Structures are given as structure tokens and as C-alpha cells.
Chains A and B, each alone.
Chain A
Amino acid sequence: MKLKNLIFVTLILVSCGGNNNSNQKSFTPKDRTTVEMSESERRAAIEAKKAEKGVDLGVALASNDVKLSVMPPFPKGDITEAISERIAVKLLHLTTANGIGGLNNVPGFALCASMDEVDKKLTSTAPQKMVTKYSISYSVRNLATDDVYASYEQEVTGVGGSWEEATRNAVNEIENNVHIQKMLSTASEKIITWYNENLGTFKKQVSTALGTNDYAYALALINSVPEKAVAAFEYATSIHDGVIAKFKMQNASKELVAMKQAILASENTLSPEVYAHLSLIPTDAPEYKEALALSTEYENKINQQREKDEMQKISAEERKHQLEMAQLESERMMVQYQSDAVSEEIQKLERELEYERKGFWGSLGSRVINLVDSF
């Protein structure tokens, strides 16, 4: 009886256990990853694969000596000041990566980008993610005339834990591609062509500016000419020094006032800004004599202070260094003048044409300068 019970229980246990899946398989994996190949074949295959991914040199650009400034979208909504600056850096990389001559301090031509929000979405995941899609419109423009030489539109999507992070990540998606290369190539060729075909118009623009004593704007126009636009470049070079002289003479009194303010602000320390203003006052200007006297008095005061502090007086070497610094500072000031002049012209244009994106280019000059400084 006991034996019968034991067999019965054993049978029940046997029938209960194990997987019900009748199609059981054991684990005997086959190698799926080893590829029979000699060492030379492997090397050849690697080279062929690398070549597939290589840059298509056919679309590489000639620089044409065209210089572009960059103009990111204005901060608005999720596009913060920091994100706008990030876009500026991205645009700068796009220009330099594509053989564009470099950053143009004077905003004659610019690679501009405007960003429009296309869509926003939220996921139902943990953590929740924000997804935002933007349409970026790139254009290469002549800011003085508002001509568009080439444009391209791209959609970028960003994901993040907040809308701002999503926007920042969308900006990170801005990358060089063949369409941007083509746009920049087309634009740089069209810029050269414009100068070659419109030399008369260009000369008229410059002479109009000179006629109205708008020397800063005239300088902005002539500094924007690329070297490859031979005739226009020759013309620009021939009048460059004369325009600079007139510009400096026009601004001499303004520079003298600015120099006095710089001396006051310097608090008895050597300031390159003081020398920069001095260098922008021509020697034949009536203000020059006063400016020179002020600078001598300024140096004397510093030396007296240094004597009190038992410090070494201003040496020839130190003065040379200060003058070098002043040269850079005066160039920056000149750029500021020209940028402001272009900005003013654009605002005039806006008013005249009731430009649909009114305000977009407002205070352009100072924005470009800020960007130049940040680089």
C-alpha cells in the first residue's frame, strides 16, 4: 500500500514539473560574427569603408576672400541670450569650416539665422521629456542693402528635461552639411559677381555716403569689398586712406571729449583707451594740440603717483606696449563706428520699406561688436 502511494505521488510530481513548452531547445550558440578574411583583405575593406565616410571634396569651397559676420536670432521666448550666443558660435563654425575668409568685423555681409518654433511635444515617460522642433532659416545677406544672396532652411529637433534644455539641444543639432556648403558657395560667388557687375552702383553708394559726410558708413562699405572683386577692391583701396582721414577729422572733437572721460575713469593708471582716443585725433586737427597736452599731463600725474608709491616711472617699453594695446582698441572703436553706421542705414531702410521683420536688425552694430568681443 505504501509503495503504491509512493509511485502515485512520484508520477504526479513528474507530470507537474518543468516547462509546458513542448518545443524546448538547448543553448548551443553558433558563431555569427567571425568573418573569414585575410589581413590584407581586412585592411582593404577598412580603407574602402573609410573612403565611404570621407568628406566629399567636390563640394569644398573656394574662399573667394569673402568675409562674413554672423547674426544669430534675437533672444525671444525659449531662445535665451545664452542660446543666441551659442547659435552665433555655431554659425561662426559653419563659415570657417566652409572656407569663408573669417569673421568680418564690419557687418557688410552676414550669415544670418532666424529660428521659428514649429512644434512642441511632451512625452508620457518617466522622466518626462520635452521635445521642441525649430525651423532655422539661414541666409547670407548684404546688410547694407538687405540683398539676400543665398538661403537654406533646416529643421532641428531638441529633447530635454525642460523647454530651455530642449532648445539648447536643438541648437546642438546645427551641423555643417552639403546644403549649407552649397548656400555659402553660392553666396560668396554672388557677392563677387555683384561687385563685378555693379561697380557703378557701389561707387554711387560710397559717394552718396561721402556726400552726406557719413564717413563711417562709407568706410563700412569699402571695408566689405572682397579682394577677388578686383575692380571694386582697387577702387576701395584707392580711397580708403582719404576716407579714414576725413572720418577722423569729423570725429576729432568727439574723440577729445571721450579721451577726457577715459582719463577721468583711469584713476591714475595707464589706460590704453586714453591712447586709443588720442590716435583717432589727426595731428592736423585743431583738437590735437589739446589732446597731446592732456596726455602729457596724464602721464606726469601717473609718474608722480608712482613716485609716491615708490614704483618705477613709465618706461619706453611700457609706453610701446600701451600704444600697441591702444592700436587694437582704436580698431575696435572704428569698427563700432562703422557698425553703428550700417545699423542706422538698415533702420532707415526698415522705415522706408516697412520691412516685415521690423526690429530684427535693430541695434545691429552693438550686437555684432558684442559678438566679436565674445570670440
Chain B
Amino acid sequence: MHYTKFISLLAVTLMIASCGNSNSKVKSLAEGASGNIVAYENSAVNAIQQALPTLMVLPSDNLMKNSGALTTQTINGKSVVMRDYNKFFTSNMDNKAIISVIQNAFVQVNYPIQDLEQTLKQLETQEALDMVDGMEKDAKTMLLTVAQPDMIIELDYNSSFDMKKPVNEARTISYTLNVIDSYTSTVISSTSETGLTGENTASILSAGLEKSAKKMTSEIQNAFSDILTRGRNVTVRIAVGAGCDFSLNDDSIVDEPYSDWIVDYIKTHTVKGAYKMQRNTDKELYFVNCRIPLLNEDGTQYGVYDWARDMSKSIRKNLGVKATNKSQGLGEILITLDGLK
């Protein structure tokens, strides 16, 4: 018996030793990498790759509450929710482990996603550096200095432990993952599992995700394919700026209300005229599900900023109105009208 064990051990050792690179000098991480930038530059443009949407796992409010990181306060008679993300990460080791498992599922399909905790740290460092450099910052810049994923993977999970059960079945978890487009609040993919059992939270979720990650990544890929086919889905908001002396229902210099002109522009400058009006007031026009092109003729990006730039130019030229482009990210167009030029 001992003899058999010894032979087995020797065989395994020899196998391990024979594996790997025949070259005695092991390549470093960088030396092992390969790529061809020329071939890549000459290949057709993939508009998704060009402006790659960032994904980030964010805890749901329910999970924040269960972690003691969500409280409510009354301010000016109104109940408001206070979220403490640092507390979320430090209150429960499982929170971090679970997020790592989800992130790893995306690494497996070559789509590394942004880490919330590191992003928060980076923002803190950036704020400190900006202070040292004496950078000018207005209220809006400070307001936008936050984690801004284009797609949110919202995580919610519950975990319970039954001491009466064997250790490898004692832990039970249920989880829900929603992938949400942060500009349109559209749910791109949703998956949930209940009553998964095992030894610890991370390993149970890891096993559960093996199946659901495939479904989730496939649904995200479908969303990307939809963008490539029908254009990017964005919201368009045209608002009257403070101090502007007209409303959107007033007649413009072309003898029609500003709102009519704006609607006509949107009809003709969205992919196949795709848009839906959601708000029409004297001060604001708000459209959702607007599809805009992805690329210029020369293969360069055409995003929300470019679309808003073109519309602002047209407003200035045709209506004689000063228009400011305040668009953000990949899916949010905002133009303010600041009075006649």
C-alpha cells in the first residue's frame, strides 16, 4: 500500500515537472503578452469597443440597509436616504467577496468591469490632488465627481446559516442581479436564484453564477448588438436656462414655437426617427428612447456630445438662440437655451 502511494506521488511530481514551457527561462507577464496594433487599426471599427460602456457592481438599497449602510434622515420635512458605501464594504466581508465573484465572471468573458471600492478610493485621491494643485471646481463638477458606470449591475442577496444542517449545507443564499442602463434606466438583463446551499457565501454564489453569468453576458451582448444595429439609445433634454426670456411654447424667429422646431429636428436626426416624447412643458422638452448614430463617415466616434453639438449649432444658426451643450457620458443629452444671441 505504501509502495503504491509512493509510486503515485512520484508520477504526479514527474508530470508537474514535465509541464509548462520547454524553455528553461520562464517568460514574464509582459513578455508572454502578444498583440498586433497595425492589424487592429486596419480592422473595421467596432463602435462598442470605441466607446466601451463601463459596468460596475453596485449594491441595492435593500443590501445596503441589511449591511447597516443605509439610513434615513428628515431634511426640511422630507425623508431622505443616506448611503454610506465605505461602511458597506467594511461591515461584512461577504459583501466584498461576492462582488469579486461577479467581477470575475466578467473577466472570464474578457470584459473587466470597474470596481466600486477602488473607484471611490480613486475619487478621494483625485479630490486631494486637485486641492493640492489648486484646481478650480464649480458645484456641477463636484456633483459629477462620482462613480459613473454606463451600466449598473445591481446586486441584492440574502444569506442565512442553519446550525442544525451539516457544514457543507448550512449556508443558504438567494441573490438577484439586474443589469441596468444608467441613462435610460432600462433593465438589460436580470437573473435571480433562491435557496442555493453550500459552505460559504462566495463559493455558493460562484457556483450559481456559472450558469447565470452566461445568460447575463449573452443578454448584454444582445444589447450591444442592438446598439450596433439601431444606434445608441439616449435621452434628450432641451431646457430653458435661468434668465432666459422666452418659453419653449413661444414663437421663434421662424414663426413657429421653439418646441415644434425641436421636435422636427429630433425626428430627422435620430436613426429611423426613433424617439418618444415624455415631457413637454414651457421650460423643458424631454425625450426618451432616442436612437443616435454611432460613427462619423471617417470611422471616428459620434456620441451624445457630438449630436448635441450639431443640434446646438443648428439652434444658433436657425433660431438665433444661444444654446449650451451640457451632455454627459454615453447616453445623456442636455442642451440649455440661454436667450437670443
Chain A residues near B (Cβ < 8 Å): 19-21, 24-30, 119-120, 122-129, 131, 157-160, 169-170, 173
Contact call B75/A120, Cβ cutoff below 8 A: yes
Pick from B58, B139, B143, B148: contact of A173, CB below 8 A: B139
Q: Residue on B with the closest CB to A129?
A: B143
Contact call A19/B46, Cβ cutoff below 8 A: yes
**Besides A26-B43, A127-B85, 11 other A-B contacts (C-beta < 8 A):** A20-B229, A21-B228, A25-B45, A25-B295, A120-B75, A122-B82, A123-B146, A125-B148, A127-B147, A128-B84, A128-B85
Chain B residues near A (Cβ < 8 Å): 41-47, 58, 75-76, 80-85, 116, 119-120, 123, 138-140, 142-143, 146-148, 225, 228-229, 295, 297-300
Q: How far is the CA of A210 from the CA of B143 in the complex (A)?
A: 57
Q: How far is the CA of A158 from the CA of B225 in the complex (A)?
A: 41
Contact call A169/B298, Cβ cutoff below 8 A: no
**Max chain B Cβ within 10 angstroms of own Cβ: one of A119, A122, A127, A160:** A127
Q: How far is the CA of A38 from the CA of B140 in the complex (A)?
A: 38
Pick from A28, A120, A173: contact of B298, CB below 8 A: A28
Contact call B229/A131, Cβ cutoff below 8 A: no
Q: How far is the CA of A43 from the CA of B320 in the complex (A)?
A: 29
Pick from B142, B228, B299: contact of A27, CB below 8 A: B299
Contact call B45/A169, Cβ cutoff below 8 A: no
Q: Residue on A with the closest CB to B116?
A: A126
Q: Chain A contact residues: over half helix, strand or loop, or mixed?
A: loop
Tell me, rounded to whole Å, the shortest Cβ–Cβ distance linking A16 to chain B. 14
Contact call A126/B299, Cβ cutoff below 8 A: no
**A119-B76, A120-B75 in contact; A159/B143 too (CB < 8 A)?**
yes
**Max chain A Cβ within 10 angstroms of own Cβ: one of B42, B44, B139:** B139
**A119-B76, A160-B142 in contact; A124/B299 too (CB < 8 A)?**
no
Q: How far is the CA of A124 from the CA of B81 in the complex (A)?
A: 8
Contact call A158/B83, Cβ cutoff below 8 A: no
Q: How far is the CA of A173 from the CA of B82 in the complex (A)?
A: 25
Contacts of B47 in A (CB 8 A): 21
Q: How far is the CA of A20 from the CA of B227 in the complex (A)?
A: 11
Q: How far is the CA of A19 from the CA of B228 in the complex (A)?
A: 9
Tell me, rounded to whole Å, the shortest Cβ–Cβ distance linking A49 to chain B. 17
Q: How far is the CA of A128 from the CA of B84 in the complex (A)?
A: 7
Q: How far is the CA of A129 from the CA of B76 in the complex (A)?
A: 17
Contacts of A24 in B (CB 8 A): 44-45
Tell me, rounded to whole Å, the shortest Cβ–Cβ distance linking B259 to chain A. 27
Q: How far is the CA of A314 from the CA of B119 in the complex (A)?
A: 65
**Max chain B Cβ within 10 angstroms of own Cβ: one of A19, A27, A160:** A27
Tell me, rounded to whole Å, the shortest Cβ–Cβ distance linking A102 to chain B. 27
Contact call A28/B146, Cβ cutoff below 8 A: no
Contact call B139/A159, Cβ cutoff below 8 A: yes
Contacts of A122 in B (CB 8 A): 75, 80-82
Contacts of A158 in B (CB 8 A): 139
Pick from B44, B83, B84, B143: contact of A131, CB below 8 A: B143
Q: How far is the CA of A30 from the CA of B300 in the complex (A)?
A: 9
Tell me, rounded to whole Å, the shortest Cβ–Cβ distance linking B235 to chain A. 17
Q: How far is the CA of A125 from the CA of B80 in the complex (A)?
A: 13
Contact call B147/A26, Cβ cutoff below 8 A: no
Contact call B139/A169, Cβ cutoff below 8 A: yes
Q: Residue on B with the closest CB to A25?
A: B299
**A19-B228, A122-B80 in contact; A26/B45 too (CB < 8 A)?**
yes
Pick from A21, A126, A160: contact of B147, CB below 8 A: A126
Q: How far is the CA of A158 from the CA of B137 in the complex (A)?
A: 11
**Max chain B Cβ within 10 angstroms of own Cβ: one of A126, A129, A170:** A126
Contacts of B299 in A (CB 8 A): 25-29
Q: How far is the CA of A119 from the CA of B82 in the complex (A)?
A: 17
Contact call A129/B146, Cβ cutoff below 8 A: yes
Tell me, rounded to whole Å, the shortest Cβ–Cβ distance linking A173 to chain B. 7
Tell me, rounded to whole Å, the shortest Cβ–Cβ distance linking B228 to chain A. 4
Contact call A25/B82, Cβ cutoff below 8 A: no
Contact call A30/B76, Cβ cutoff below 8 A: no
**A125-B146, A126-B85, A157-B139 in contact; A27/B41 too (CB < 8 A)?**
yes
Closest 10 CB pairs of A and B: A27-B299, A125-B146, A159-B142, A24-B44, A21-B228, A25-B299, A157-B139, A126-B147, A30-B298, A159-B143
**A122-B81, A126-B116 in contact; A27/B300 too (CB < 8 A)?**
yes
Tell me, rounded to whole Å, the shortest Cβ–Cβ distance linking A137 to chain B. 18
Contacts of B42 in A (CB 8 A): 26
Contact call A129/B142, Cβ cutoff below 8 A: yes
Q: Residue on B with the closest CB to A131?
A: B143
Q: How far is the CA of A19 from the CA of B300 in the complex (A)?
A: 18
**Max chain A Cβ within 10 angstroms of own Cβ: one of B81, B82, B300:** B300
